[in-house]
Structure 1
Amino acid sequence: MSSSPLSAVLWDMDGTLVDTEPYWMAAETPLIEKFGGTWSHEQALACVGLGLEDSARIFQTAGVRMAVHEITAHLTDEVMRQLATKGVPFRPGARELLASLRAAGIKTALVTMSLRRMADTVVDLIDFDAFDVVVAGDEVARPKPFPDPYLQACEALGVDVHDTLAIEDSPNGLRSAVASGATTIGVPLMVPVEGVGADAIWATLEGRTAQDLASFHADVRARKDSSR
């Protein structure tokens, strides 16, 4: 049975490509405490994978007396400051898999809910031309878990979403990718991703290649086509 070729791989950024979630958490707690509130690790985990504006509204309910755009700008500045001082912590195998995809001629997109200026900072620190398209949180009508970010990336790439594979680390991100129609792989970091519809959950990207993704995508599409 024939199956759709893999035209593009769509990457989440925070927690999937780079392990920046601790940077975000380190920025959140002082901000909330500044306004007399408290912020637990469990509350921080609940924000993983959310759009920045949605997270900002949660911070407002925790007592942060700032406008949504002021909160998102402040947190982005703090995370970018940590990136500048501590460097970009790529997740195991992520950079190597990106390089393999580029060598294989498979298109790539970065689909993140971080602001564009932060996404550009991370992309600029990769020592090769890693992405054809970047879709950021301040460029979409509806954030993850809506499918809009992934559909927007596919439109920009000129590919059918059913010919793509998305890699995510959070339930909200996977819900977005699954709803878009892409083949999906969850690579969890801080929160479990079972039960949200991913086609597979991989413990790590270490040792994975473009051929592994292409073969997996073909198998998933063949299975779904045969069940129709």
Structure 2
Amino acid sequence: MVAPPQLLHYHHHLFSHQFPKTHLQRHNLTKRGSTSLTRMSISSDPRPLDSKCSLAFVAPLEAILFDIDGTLCDSDPLHYYAFREMLQEVGFNGGVPITEEFFIENISGMHNEELCGVLFPGWDLQRARKFFEDKEDMFRRLASEQLEPMKGLHKLREWIENQGLKRAAVTNAPRPNGELLVSALDLLGFFEVLVIANECDRAKPFPDPYLKSLQALNVSNKHAFVFEDSVSGVKAGVAAGMPVVGLGTRNPDSLLLDAGATFVIKDFGDPKLWEALEELEKKAVKQ
């Protein structure tokens, strides 16, 4: 099944603004990305008290780690469309299509294994897993045709390469999705490491995927930072002992900041980011 281009254009428009969050939505979004801190090995927040919009405390910078979905590209509209069509086919919600608000509140950012119980509590696990395999197949077909990089990504890539920094992509998505998105964005030769969270002992919001990335790059968490767009991802980066720059693609800035983001940008062209990177460069020269 291939989505009519005009429908996907329409849904990109719907996702081009932040949906108003009810109290329940805010609660669910926070709950979804915040596994109890008492169950996690959390490092102390790496941000100095006076570090607003600053990354200077990681100088000399050695590596940058990126989430993929929602960070390198705004892929949620494609995930939403695939879920909407597939759920309608199996008669979910009496066959009534899910809304964007339902998708954001109940689906976006969650692991497929978690969603098995959330969406299909009455299904056996094998049947639920097959649904998600088919959904991911549909998403990949759409992404291969319609994916676009986050604004400013190519400029940032050039800066990173000129600085000689190490880089890794770290995702909760299945490996086929992660590999497809990195390839579609022409970043196969850019990333030295691709870490898939479900191949680690624990996925985000636990720190394991980011710790694995640091180990693979042979870099200290004191000289690296993370780009993330979700509460779960921000918590994972902070738990791994790194500052996290939040991408305000879908979640309100306040949620990302509450999760521990050092600051939030709208995209990779945001002046806040470039001021922070310039400050990093100047501090590295002095050292």
Q: Displacement of 1:57 after TM fit?
A: 3.1
Farther off after superposition, 60-69 or 147-156: 60-69
| Equivalent residue number for residue 198 of structure 1 | 261
Q: Displacement of 1:94 after TM fit?
A: 1.8
Matched residue of 2:225: which SS?
Answer: strand
Selected match of 1:160 from 206, 213, 220: 220
Q: Is the contact made by 1:6 and 1:163 (CA closer than 8 Å) also made in structure 2? A: yes
| Equivalent residue number for residue 129 of structure 2 | 69
The answer on 1:107 being equivalent to 2:171 is no
Q: Displacement of 1:105 after TM fit?
A: 0.6
Give the Cα separation in 1 of the matches to 2:121 and 2:248.
28
Give the Cα separation in 1 of the matches to 2:82 and 2:263.
32
Q: Is the contact made by 1:123 and 1:130 (CA closer than 8 Å) also made in structure 2? A: no
Q: Is the contact made by 1:167 and 1:185 (CA closer than 8 Å) also made in structure 2? A: yes
Q: Is the contact made by 1:9 and 1:107 (CA closer than 8 Å) also made in structure 2? A: yes
Q: Is the contact made by 1:10 and 1:164 (CA closer than 8 Å) also made in structure 2? A: yes
CA separation of 1:197 and 1:3: change in aligned 2, threshold 3 A: closer
The answer on 1:134 being equivalent to 2:194 is yes
Selected match of 2:177 from 88, 107, 118: 118
Q: Displacement of 1:78 after TM fit?
A: 1.0
CA separation of 1:170 and 1:64: change in aligned 2, threshold 3 A: farther
Give the Cα separation in 1 of the matches to 2:192 and 2:262.
24
Selected match of 2:203 from 138, 143, 163: 143
| Equivalent residue number for residue 153 of structure 2 | 94
Please report the TM-score for the alignment, with normalisation by the length of structure 1. 0.83
| Equivalent residue number for residue 22 of structure 1 | 77
Give the Cα separation in 2 of the matches to 1:82 and 1:107.
30
Q: Is the contact made by 1:151 and 1:180 (CA closer than 8 Å) also made in structure 2? A: yes
Matched residue of 2:108: which SS?
Answer: coil
Q: Displacement of 1:95 after TM fit?
A: 2.8
Letter in 1 for 2:104: L
Give the Cα separation in 1 of the matches to 2:198 and 2:117.
15
Structure 1 stretches lacking a partner, 5+ long: 220-228
Q: Displacement of 1:65 after TM fit?
A: 7.6
Letter in 2 for 1:115: P
Q: Is the contact made by 1:111 and 1:150 (CA closer than 8 Å) also made in structure 2? A: yes
Percent sequence identity over matched residues?
Answer: 26
Selected match of 2:64 from 3, 6, 9: 9
Letter in 2 for 1:148: D
Give the Cα separation in 1 of the matches to 2:57 and 2:177.
40
CA separation of 1:2 and 1:93: change in aligned 2, threshold 3 A: closer
The answer on 1:215 being equivalent to 2:270 is no
Paired residues, number: 218
Give the Cα separation in 1 of the matches to 2:197 and 2:135.
14
The answer on 1:187 being equivalent to 2:242 is no
Letter in 2 for 1:36: G
Please report the TM-score for the alignment, with normalisation by the length of structure 2. 0.67
Q: Pairwise CA RMSD of aligned residues?
A: 2.8
